[in-house]
Structure 1
Amino acid sequence: MLAGAPVAPENPTFAELGVHDDIVRALNASGIERTFAIQALTLPLALGGEDVIGQARTGMGKTLGFGVPLLQRLELPGDGTPQALVVVPTRELCVQVTKDLTEAGRHLGVRTASIYGGRPYEAQIESLRQGVDLVIGTPGRLLDLAEQRHLVLGKVGALVLDEADEMLDLGFLPDIERILGMVPQKRQTMLFSATMPGPIINLARTFLHQPTHIRAEENDEGAIHDRTAQFVYRSHSLDKPELIAKVLQAEGRGLTMIFTRTKRTAQKVADDLSERGFAAAAVHGDLGQGAREQALRAFRSGKVDVLVATDVAARGIDVTDVTHVINYQTPDDEKTYVHRIGRTGRAGKTGVAITLVDWDEMPRWKLISDELGLGITEPVETYSTSKHLFDDLGIPADASGRLPLSKRTRAGLAAEREEDFGGRR
């Protein structure tokens, strides 16, 4: 996450923690000077080569917490054999981490490679053949290329497992254990995870050497949600498209994520919003790899400002400036709710979370509200014409179900090129 954000002045700067001048210069150019909590805790240990377990959610700055030490401890120029490896659960997170670390290391001359499935092997094999210092990849493709001897892991001196609990959920644990068996035993290992289920604890015990456990979760968890205004409305499914169109005209709305429960609904909502004049795109499992990456690039660059996603497709999407999160349908459980609304209110900024509860979803919502102590067991009945909706969210009184032509200023999804991955999904 390389976007600049207001940080408490008492946090030390990267320079004060002994980070290399060239890395500090690159971070400063991206508007980053002071550390976030997870970085301030991790850097002194990781720069010294110690093993670390970091407990933190996406969006708390952990990428630089492990990335800066990886970059600083590389021996440059290297011989082209990978010296450091970062394993991530999804291709979207792989792209994001690669971008962040490439930017942070741009004055060092670090060669990075991004290795993930869903795109042709040839380009990735060629980048490895030309020589790399740092590899970021997803477990399946990393293992594939390692077993084919294209990816040499014999000189990896530092390994990071990022979002380990997500990798467990996606069934990657056996692949990770095989990768860990291929790298030298004498190495630095860092593991980051939002939660610490039993299999992850066992993994850490087996493969990490006297790790220090850092938690940057409890202190910030409440703060994230204190900074996020939560609105819950009982809404009829037939009125939701019109209601959402008005919500998206609220004052101060910037980048917005809309979550749906199914792939079909995600595409339908994105198509409907596009037809109403909004710059919207969908991300879900039925889209090809090229279309998914096209939508994410368009969202990050602001060509579209509304991204409609399913929970699975949204894993690893880390965009700092999301102002609004909308639950088009009630999430499955409280964990999903917390994860979704945590997409806004990040890095000291405020955010708005809106949840639409249909009549048949009321029992599920009551469980979520009770579990999280929200005290909103009976959401107020709300329609696209309800005055309290306009008042709550700062929607102009004259807003209709279509975006006025004068406000259609974004380039849209078509302005972002879609890469051709040979028809693969």
Structure 2
Amino acid sequence: MLIDNAVTGFRQRNTRQDTEKGKTSDIIKPENKQKPSVINWASLRENKAKHDAMKWAGLPPIEKNFYRESSRTASMSQEEVELWRKENNNIMCDDLKEGEKRCIPNPVCRFEDVFDDYPDIMANIRKVGFQKPTPIQSQAWPIILQGMDLIGIAQTGTGKTLAYLMPGFIHLTSQPLSRDQREGPGMLVLAPTRELALQVEAECLKYTFEGIKSVCIYGGGNRRGQIDVITKGVDVVIATPGRLNDLQMNNFINLRSITYLVLDEADRMLDMGFEPQIMKILIDVRPDRQTVMTSATWPDGVRRLAKSYLKNPMIVYVGTLDLTAVNTVEQRVIVITEEEKKAFMQDFIGSLNPKDKVIVFVGKKMRADDLASDFGLQGIPVQSLHGDREQCDREQALDDFKTGKVRILVATDLASRGLDVHDITYVFNFDFPRNIEEYVHRVGRTGRAGRTGKAVTLVTKDDWRVASELIEILERANQVVPTELIAMAERYKQFQIRKEFAKDIRRPQRKPPK
């Protein structure tokens, strides 16, 4: 309807213009004019439905519900459930299905409550030494194992990866069609960055189950090697959208067999402009799949993505849907001039203990190299991480940092997500990030898995546009708000008022009607 109206309006405007130029209807006879063609949308929709039915005909059935609720979980009263959710970072749940709402499953308090029938998974959990499920895991596992689509919103470092991996393993190995008979992978995890994709692969290998084979494919890696692994047969594909789209368009991978799909850090994928690639990829993923979407924030773009690609999902969010930093991190904000930043950082680095481990976040790749060179000239072991480094150098930098060979990593926002190093004690924001969401993700690199950490952030007068949002983040986490930051926010607010006032003065006044 919108297109038909636009076409009609375009023709009417052209007709008026021709008339104004002195052309009359005598020059172009009405009978000689071709009637505008009208798009038959009903026919197009019918043809699409027929095409879809033909495309997905003959696919093997999917099993989705594998959940057996333990007697302990089933016996929880409503008061016990509400108390558990409140004590575990205020877990909130909702059913986004339109119409009659479904019953939200009780959370699981112990690993045995959900994986008692899977001794291999329990053995891996005991080997790692986890004591109990994290809040997002305790509520997500019963929902996913019942076969429902899920949106999981939780802060960084709260166990979202295992929240979807464990049910994914069970889903893969419990299908009516055996893994040997399947014509492609059964599980796909889309991640925004190489670092996060490699991190998910490491978790996948750590908790391997019944010989499940996985591959990580990403731009900058060995393309031929990735193709060789995929063509030999894998169960799980962990991929960045760009490289997966490349292999899909060249028919190196068959996605029709995917029955379990994960969109990990969906907000970051949208920030990086991956939505067109995601749309192309999902055209070839069967529509009756089970889909899990995770995110640390819940902006409008992620809501749109969820509405497009998930069917009647449930949503679980830990804490609040308002943007907030992890509550295990002490945040300190310093208002400073640009010229003083390097000296302040040198004093900070000099005050560290030998066992401290720090990520220094900067805004530009060149700045990362400059600071890393400065540290090197002082004899301080350091590594840098940014997009211009070769993939092998990036992987070496991460490995040196994780193993403790270096205790300082200078990085761009490439490391703000997907970097899971548990013993990071400090995050040092040399440059403030481009938006407040990225600040939250940077802070989340420390204080992970129940540990505490500290974040030091330098703010200059050029960062005044984010001062109000930063104050809100600090207040939600009960952190100290510097008076200079409050003054900066007020100045920016007054600047915006003056700017709007000046616009109104310059705007031409409409003449009153005659």
Whether these two folds match at TM > 0.5 is yes
Superposed CA deviations along residues 67-117 of structure 1, whole A, max 9, x for unmatched, are: 000111213872262111111111110000011011111x52110011111
2:219 corresponds to which letter in structure 1? Answer: G
Greater CA deviation, 204-213 or 168-177? Answer: 204-213
What residue is the counterpart of 1:310 in the other structure? 412
Shift, 1:124, TM fit: 0.4
Residues 283, 309 of structure 1: 8 Å contact kept: yes
1:30 aligns with 2:141: no
1:93 aligns with 2:196: yes
Measured in 1, the distance between the counterparts of 2:191 and 2:426 equals 26
Residues 330, 361 of structure 1: 8 Å contact kept: no
Shift, 1:315, TM fit: 3.4
Measured in 2, the distance between the counterparts of 1:109 and 1:364 equals 52
Superposed CA deviations along residues 204-249 of structure 1, whole A, max 9, x for unmatched, are: 2232222111112429976823x32223334555554454344234
What residue is the counterpart of 1:122 in the other structure? 224
Measured in 2, the distance between the counterparts of 1:61 and 1:310 equals 24
Change (3 A) 1:218 1:137: same
Q: Secondary structure at the match of 2:326?
A: helix
1:74 to 172, 178, 181: 172
What residue is the counterpart of 2:207 in the other structure? 104
Residues 112, 135 of structure 1: 8 Å contact kept: yes
What residue is the counterpart of 1:58 in the other structure? 156
What residue is the counterpart of 1:171 in the other structure? 273
What residue is the counterpart of 2:10 in the other structure? none
Measured in 2, the distance between the counterparts of 1:312 and 1:15 equals 37
1:288 aligns with 2:390: yes
Residues 369, 375 of structure 1: 8 Å contact kept: no
1:21 aligns with 2:119: yes
Measured in 2, the distance between the counterparts of 1:78 and 1:209 equals 25
Structure number with larger C-alpha Rg: 2
What residue is the counterpart of 2:320 in the other structure? 218
Residues 55, 193 of structure 1: 8 Å contact kept: yes
Measured in 1, the distance between the counterparts of 2:322 and 2:421 equals 18
1:135 aligns with 2:237: yes
Superposed CA deviations along residues 30-65 of structure 1, whole A, max 9, x for unmatched, are: 222411000101101112222111112331110000
2:331 to 214, 223, 230: 230
2:144 corresponds to which letter in structure 1? Answer: A
Residues 98, 113 of structure 1: 8 Å contact kept: yes
Residues 282, 308 of structure 1: 8 Å contact kept: yes
1:48 aligns with 2:108: no
Superposed CA deviations along residues 354-396 of structure 1, whole A, max 9, x for unmatched, are: 12345x44745744554434521327xxxxxxxxxxxxxxxxx
What residue is the counterpart of 1:244 in the other structure? 345
Measured in 1, the distance between the counterparts of 2:165 and 2:415 equals 24
What residue is the counterpart of 1:319 in the other structure? 421
Residues 54, 193 of structure 1: 8 Å contact kept: yes
1:377 aligns with 2:483: yes
Greater CA deviation, 143-152 or 154-163? Answer: 143-152
**Structural mapping, 1:343-358, within 5 Å:** 343-358=445-460
Measured in 2, the distance between the counterparts of 1:278 and 1:31 equals 34
Measured in 1, the distance between the counterparts of 2:108 and 2:407 equals 32
Measured in 2, the distance between the counterparts of 1:292 and 1:369 equals 30
Structure 1: segments with no counterpart, 5+ residues = 1-6, 380-425
2:484 corresponds to which letter in structure 1? Answer: E
RMSD: 2.6
Change (3 A) 1:120 1:285: same
Structure with more of its chain in helix, by fraction: 2
Superposed CA deviations along residues 3-32 of structure 1, whole A, max 9, x for unmatched, are: xxxx98x97232222362111211221222
Measured in 2, the distance between the counterparts of 1:214 and 1:257 equals 30
Shift, 1:156, TM fit: 1.1
Structure 2: segments with no counterpart, 5+ residues = 1-86, 89-106, 486-514
Measured in 1, the distance between the counterparts of 2:292 and 2:398 equals 28
1:194 aligns with 2:296: yes
Shift, 1:285, TM fit: 2.0
What residue is the counterpart of 1:420 in the other structure? none
Change (3 A) 1:22 1:362: closer
1:83 aligns with 2:183: no
Shift, 1:276, TM fit: 2.2
Residues 11, 37 of structure 1: 8 Å contact kept: no
Change (3 A) 1:78 1:288: same
Change (3 A) 1:362 1:253: farther
1:203 to 301, 305, 310: 305
Count how many residue pairs are aligned between Structure 1 and Structure 2.
Answer: 369
1:176 corresponds to which letter in structure 2? Answer: I
Measured in 2, the distance between the counterparts of 1:344 and 1:313 equals 12
Superposed CA deviations along residues 165-197 of structure 1, whole A, max 9, x for unmatched, are: 111111111111221110112211111122233
Residues 84, 158 of structure 1: 8 Å contact kept: yes
